[in-house]
Amino acid sequence: MRIGYLMNAYPMTSTTFIRREINAIEAEGVEVLRYAIRPWSEPLVDEQDRTEQDKTFYLLVGRLPALLGDFAKETLSNPRGMARAVKSWWRLWRNAGRGFVPHVAYMLEAVSLKRRAIHDGIGHLHTHFSTNSAAVAMLSHELGGPGYSFTAHGPDEFVDWGRSSLDLKVAKARFVVAISQFCRVQIARAAGMAYWGKIHIVRCGIDTSQFALSDAPFNSQAPFVTVGRLCPQKAQTLIVEAAARLAPAYPNLRIVLIGDGETRNQIKGAIARHGLQDIVTLLGWCDNMQVRETLGRARALLLPSFAEGLPIVIMEALALGRPVISTYIAGIPELIDDECGWIIPAGSVSALTQAMRSALDAPPETLAAMGAEGRRRIETRHEVAINAHRLKTLIEGHYA
């Protein structure tokens, strides 16, 4: 079986779970070809991602003459397929209410993808996220290319699903994957309950063999760690506010932030305003090994987000045996409760402060027990090999 994976930008430091999923499917004997609309605009810090980049065919990079040539050839040789695709393209553009030029680009990309996929002998296309790449996969299918499926994650995908034509993408797909029960419900709300049976839960996963249970002690030197893009929806500024409240009573308090993004300067300003330069450290983006090593020494992972799907970093922290402090939004409560961490209201500095205080006051054996329960949950629910097999089984049932 030969399938294609289509992504908007690939690989990315924040989407290593896609690479792991592809590798796990390949381990099942499936040949996977990588396609992406464009490469990621930021430097790749992990060698495995750089290797993936070399395996990926990019539809847009230096290919404008080829895109235009493919469009002309397709228009002349496949008028019926082009008519179908234009009808769906019109709905995409009309529903979006803006972005004529990007939607023209979707059509050009879809034509080129269809021709490339047929040339490569692809029997099915799968994509992650229900946005640009799902639109291109759908248009490619309308042209006569391989059938497609997509995995929806949230949260942005569910903000304005009318504009993104999520219902149309679900209707045209062979099947749809949700990463959580919450996610499945949101897709059904957008597309209608008539498609409930078409939406399957396949949880994102990690390779637990790469995340051995950490034996680092939960001592006074163990820092809180947060991993992710520095952005408003991740709410890292609240971590600084909570740290300012805790610092006078906990002189050994240490917090490490891994990641970068648009709120970096705001976070740095808050650190300086509260005089926390010796307590809060900004590491920027790190490679996978450094992330694992830092998480493995953590007292707990901090993720006080306002909007998420079900973050992979929570799975990584739990697999390493580290408790998690996060918010009860989206799919997070399906994994986190008081047996493996603390789950708090989003936006509450007081609740975040109290959860951090509880983690600081908890005896090491309590934190270790929480970590062990978290590890058990990841092994049973989020092992990448198990979930990749589920996805492979779904693809096999719809393979052309």
Distance CA(381)–CA(192), nearest Å, equals 27
Q: Are residues 390 and 359 in the same domain?
A: no
Q: What is the structure's pLDDT at 400?
A: 65
Question: Is the per-residue pLDDT at 222 higher than 90?
Answer: yes
Asked if 190 and 158 sit in the same domain, the reply is yes
Would the pLDDT of 41 be above 90? Answer: no
CA distances from 96 to 150, 296, 314 (A): 19, 44, 33
Residues 99 and 123 in one domain: yes
Contact 17, 43 (CB under 8 A): no
- Angle, helices 236-246 vs 264-274, to 10°: value is 10
Mean pLDDT rounded to a whole number for the chain: 95
Q: What would the pLDDT profile of 159-182 be if each residue is shown by its tens digit? A: 888 999 999 999 999 999 999 999
Does one domain contain both 160 and 280? no
Please check whether residues 254 and 177 belong to one and the same domain.
no
Give the residue-averaged pLDDT of 32-49.
Answer: 91
pLDDT per residue over 109-162, tens digit each?
999 999 999 999 999 999 999 999 999 999 999 999 999 999 999 888 998 889
Q: Are residues 227 and 332 in the same domain?
A: yes
273 and 311 share one domain: yes
Q: Is the pLDDT of residue 315 over 90?
A: yes
Q: Name the token pair of 157.
A: 């995908």
Phi-psi region of 363 (alpha: psi -120 to 50; beta: other; left: phi over 0): beta
Structure tokens at 124: 């099915």
- Whether 118 and 152 map to the same domain: the answer is yes
Please check whether residues 61 and 173 belong to one and the same domain. Answer: yes
Do 99 and 28 sit in the same domain of this protein? yes
CATH code of the domain containing 223: 3.40.50.2000
CA dihedral 168, 170, 172, 174 (to 10 degrees): 180
Mean pLDDT comparison of 58-62, 64-68, 169-173, highest-scoring range: 169-173
pLDDT band at 13 (very low <50, low <70, confident <90, very high): confident
d(CA 278, CA 388): 43
Let me know whether 288 and 366 are in one domain: yes
Q: Kindly state whether residues 214 and 349 are assigned to the same domain.
A: yes
CA nearest neighbour of 369 among 191, 180, 213: 213
For the chain, what is the domain count? 2
What pLDDT does residue 154 have? 87
Tens of pLDDT, residue by residue over 273-298, are 999 999 999 999 998 899 999 999 99
For 352-385, write each residue's pLDDT tens digit: 999 999 999 999 999 999 999 999 999 999 999 9
Q: How far apart are CA 172 and CA 149, in angstroms?
A: 9
Domain extent for 240: 208-381
Q: 60 φ, ψ to 5°?
A: -100, -25
